[in-house]
C-alpha cells in the first residue's frame, strides 16, 4: 500500500522490499568474488564491494536509508551510549525479512571519525527536535551497531539508498 499503491497491486511486493531482501541475502552469503560493476547499486555483490569494488574490505553489513513518500528519510530512536546525546538515526541494517514484506531492522548509530575514535553525530539540531538536520547527515562517515531494532512494513517506503558496506562486528 506504500507510495500510493492501492490494494489492487495483485500481491506484488514493492521494489524496496525486493532490495532489502537482496541485501539480506548478500549479507548472509558474504563471499569474495572478483566481478566488478561500474555503477554501484544496492544489488552489488559481494558484501564489501559497495565502498571499494577493486579492494574489498571485510564487511558484515550494508548500511542503508529508507525514504518516505515525501522524500524525507525514515528515522528510528535508539539508546545512545553514555558519551552520546544522539538517539535518532536514519541508518539501518536488515536483520530479517518475513511474512508479506515485513522486516526487522537494526538501528545503526551515526558517527564521524575524530583521530580514529568514533564520535556520535546527533542528527537533530537545536530547538527543532522533530526533523532530521540534513547538514548533519553529511558529517556521518562511521557507523556503530546498536542493540535497538524496529519492525517495519517495507511496502510503506518509496525509496532505498545504500550508503556503505561496513564491519560492525555482528557476525563474529
Residue ranges per structural domain of the chain: 2-166
Contacts of 121 (CB under 8 A, 6+ apart): 86, 110, 111, 112, 136, 139, 140
28: pLDDT confidence band, cut at 50, 70 and 90?
confident
Residue 78: enclosing H or E segment and its boundaries?
none
- Under 8 Å between Cβ of 133 and 86: no
Candidate from 54-58, 69-73, 136-140 with smallest mean pLDDT: 54-58
Between 52 and 60, residue with greater pLDDT: 60
Q: Please, what sign has the CA dihedral across residues 21, 27, 30, 34?
A: positive
Q: By three-state DSSP, how is residue 150 classified?
A: strand
34: pLDDT confidence band, cut at 50, 70 and 90?
very low
Please give the mean pLDDT across all residues of the chain.
82
Query: What is the arithmetic mean of pLDDT over 102-106?
Result: 96
Amino acid at each position: 500500500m506504500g507510495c500510493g499503491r492501492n490494494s489492487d497491486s495483485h500481491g506484488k511486493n514493492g521494489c524496496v522490499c525486493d532490495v532489502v531482501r537482496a541485501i539480506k541475502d548478500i549479507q548472509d552469503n558474504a563471499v569474495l568474488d572478483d566481478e566488478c560493476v561500474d555503477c554501484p547499486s544496492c544489488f552489488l555483490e559481494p558484501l564489501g564491494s559497495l565502498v571499494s569494488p577493486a579492494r574489498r574490505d571485510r564487511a558484515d553489513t550494508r548500511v542503508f536509508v529508507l525514504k518516505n513518500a515525501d522524500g524525507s528519510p525514515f528515522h528510528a530512536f535508539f539508546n545512545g551510549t553514555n558519551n552520546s546525546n544522539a538517539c535518532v538515526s536514519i541508518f539501518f541494517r536488515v536483520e530479517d525479512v518475513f511474512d508479506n514484506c515485513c522486516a526487522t531492522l537494526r538501528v545503526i548509530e551515526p558517527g564521524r571519525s575524530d583521530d580514529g575514535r568514533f564520535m556520535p553525530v546527533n542528527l537533530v539540531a537545536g530547538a527543532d527536535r522533530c526533523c532530521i538536520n540534513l547538514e548533519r547527515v553529511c558529517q556521518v562517515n562511521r557507523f556503530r551497531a546498536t542493540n535497538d531494532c524496529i519492525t517495519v512494513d517495507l511496502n510503506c517506503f518509496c525509496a532505498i539508498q545504500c550508503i556503505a558496506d561496513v564491519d560492525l562486528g555482528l557476525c563474529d
